Amino acid sequence: MVERLRETGVSDLSVLHAFYRVPRHLFVPDVFEARAYADEALPLGQGQTISKPSTHALFLQSLSLSGDERVLEIGTGSGFQTALLATLCERVFSIECMAELAGRARARIEALGLSNVVIRVGDGTYGWRTYAPFDAILVAACAEKVPEPLVEQLRSGGQLLIPVGGAETQTLHRLTKEGEGTVKDEVIAPVRFVGLRSEPGDGEVSR
């Protein structure tokens, strides 16, 4: 899988090393274990998927993490990207709206001995104010518009990666907070993700 990622243009050695360290087959349903290292998205159940390895690599390489960041992930899913992040930064805070997926991801990450990850169940559109500001925020679901709380919870110089669009057309955006009220927005690549779920409330209730 690492060699295939190189062939697709992934050149960040720390990202490639993260894929080498984290066994993807532990994060897919048993029925798909034989396809775990193919560059394809796989179903997790409940209408959710684990993204292609090349998509995860695109996210991670776009951030150019140095190892000392505090990162917020919206959409824990299988926990695979969460585990990759845990090898690339200082602390990972991850929010998943489905309790069953969050529980499975937490168990997998603990089994790998990754102790710098906190996962909670909640509405990711509100972010996680308790631990803000963040050096980076990754959203593993598509939004029609960028949730303002996520931009607010970036530190100055921080980056937000989020798929933006509708069911048919989506693009990955990288927003860089350059100062109060100033945000640079770059389009990275076309992508395809499930929709970002949002519920009424303040999003701060943990389970």
pLDDT tops 50 at residue 207:
no
Q: What pLDDT score was predicted for residue 16?
A: 96
C-alpha 177/C-alpha 195 separation (Å) is 24
pLDDT tops 90 at residue 180:
no
| Mean pLDDT confidence for 172-178 | 95
> Fold for domain 2-190?
Rossmann fold (3.40.50)
Average pLDDT in the chain: 92
Considering only residues 99 and 46, tell me which one the structure prediction assigns the higher pLDDT: 99
Q: What pLDDT score was predicted for residue 206?
A: 40
The sheet carrying 182-190 orders its strands as 117-121, 91-96, 70-74, 134-139, 154-165, 170-179, 182-190
Q: What pLDDT score was predicted for residue 199?
A: 63
pLDDT tops 70 at residue 201:
no
Q: pTM for this one?
A: 0.92
The helix/strand/coil state of 115 is coil
pLDDT tops 50 at residue 38:
yes
Residue 81 belongs to what H/E stretch?
helix 80-88
State the CB neighbour count (10 A cutoff) for residue 133: 17
Please identify which of the residues 14, 51, 115, 198 carries the catalytic annotation: 51
| Mean pLDDT confidence for 61-67 | 95
* Residue 174 φ then ψ, to 5°: -115, 115
Least confident range from 76-85, 115-124, 149-158, 197-206: namely 197-206
Cβ(174)–Cβ(193) below 8 Å:
no
51 is catalytic: yes
66-88 pLDDT per residue, tens: 999 999 999 999 999 999 999 99
